[in-house]
Amino acid sequence: MNDFIKTLLSLSLSGSIIALISLSLKPILKYRIPKAIQYYIWIIILLRLLLPLSLPGSIMNAVFSEESFINSETNYTSISETTNIDTVDLPPVFNSPPNKNVYNTATSKNSLKFNYKYITLLWLIGFLATITINLFGYVRFIRYVNKTNLPAKSEEVDTLFKLSKKDWLKLYRNPFISTPMLIGIVKPRIIIPDIEFDKEQLTNILLHELTHLKRFDIVIKWFTMLTVAIHWFNPVVYLIRKEIDNTCELACDEAVIKNLSDKDKQSYGNTLIYVVSKYKEAPLGMLQAKMCEEKKTLKERLTSIMKYNKKPKIIILLSIVLLLSIVAGSLALGAFNGKSIMIP
């Protein structure tokens, strides 16, 4: 197998394993450990999928190098035709009669080499297609929004400045969007729907968006998009993206309400409900099933706000231990980086 595909598959596989483990722990941990830790776990998984970092002797290196070992060995036998293949320690699959095996592996290796070229090409097409679709949709959206933005009221701009202390951060109203949002990496700006907000609602909305800004959540979103593009063939990454998006919101809510009184928490959650209740006509062709899921997501956010409590030190400590073991597990699973043979 060529090294590039090996690295890609090993990243995809080890990322998916960690992701599935985390998903299976979710029902137990969801309300027990801080959302921030849950968010960091997903960021580690993202890094696992992106970076071919690995400890020497990692599992993925072993799995994927064994095969290269086999390939090079069989290749060698096909050239020399003298080595007895049975002396090489191989998995049972390869324990067919040596003569036949030598011939078969030699031809299949050639045809595989041929195939890998096409597999790499196919991957590249999927990768570029995903990137293009995302960027195209994004640019089109930003253009429409920029074209239709209206200036925010001056008291709204004042409220934002009091909260953020950043005079470069712009605030706009837009009649064509339904939810407040933070857009742009280079020049972030906050855009709110062109509907009535009282000061309390506006403060809640701005606190949420400012928290996204402070935590570089948009950068994470771009990295997530890149990860999905790289692993477009792996169904698990779409699940991962959904989890990251959800956890990102939950962690953001948590950071906002952390220091609020019960009354202010109530007001914060009410603002979320208010924004949804002010939504205009639902886009055509929306599926009922999807609708149910939308409700579930919001319900989970509200429940998390209700259930939020200051975590005891022991929980924080255990969460950090969990986080570190996921880091260690990720490194132990590793990725194929082509160095395993050199490292004794």
Partner 1 sequence: MNNPASKITSSELELMKVLWDADKELPISEIRKALEETTDWEISTIKTLLRRLCNKGIVKAIKREVFYYKALVSQQEYSEYSTQNLIDRLYSGSAKNLIASLISSKKLKPEDIKELQEMFKVGDKNE
- Residues of this chain that bind partner 1 (CB under 8 A): 133-134, 136-138, 140-142, 144-145, 148, 175-183, 205, 208-209, 212-213, 217-218, 221-222, 224-225, 228, 241, 245, 248-249, 252, 262-263, 265-266, 269-270, 272-273, 275-277, 279-284, 286, 290-291, 294-295, 297-299, 302-303, 305-306, 309
Closest approach of Cβ 184 to partner 1, in Å? Answer: 9
Residues 6 or more apart whose CB falls under 8 angstroms from that of 75 comprise 105, 106, 109
Closest approach of Cβ 312 to partner 1, in Å? Answer: 14
The conformational region for residue 148 under phi > 0 = left, psi -120 to 50 = alpha, else beta, is alpha
Closest approach of Cβ 266 to partner 1, in Å? Answer: 4
Contact 12, 294 (CB under 8 A): no
**C-alpha count within 13 angstroms, C-beta hemisphere, residue 307:** 13
User: Given the complex with partner 1, which of 21 and 145 has the nearer CB atom?
Assistant: 145
Closest approach of Cβ 12 to partner 1, in Å? Answer: 19
**C-alpha count within 13 angstroms, C-beta hemisphere, residue 252:** 26
Q: Is the dihedral of CA 29, 30, 33, 39 positive or negative?
A: positive
Residues 6 or more apart whose CB falls under 8 angstroms from that of 237 comprise 12, 15, 16, 49, 227, 228, 231
Closest approach of Cβ 317 to partner 1, in Å? Answer: 23
Distance CA 174, CA 14 (A): 43
User: Given the complex with partner 1, which of 196 and 262 has the nearer CB atom?
Assistant: 262
User: Given the complex with partner 1, which of 49 and 63 has the nearer CB atom?
Assistant: 49
What residue has token string 């260690």? 328
User: Given the complex with partner 1, which of 50 and 106 has the nearer CB atom?
Assistant: 50
Distance CA 41, CA 19 (A): 9
User: Given the complex with partner 1, which of 226 and 322 has the nearer CB atom?
Assistant: 226
Distance CA 16, CA 298 (A): 26
User: Given the complex with partner 1, which of 63 and 207 has the nearer CB atom?
Assistant: 207
Closest approach of Cβ 338 to partner 1, in Å? Answer: 32
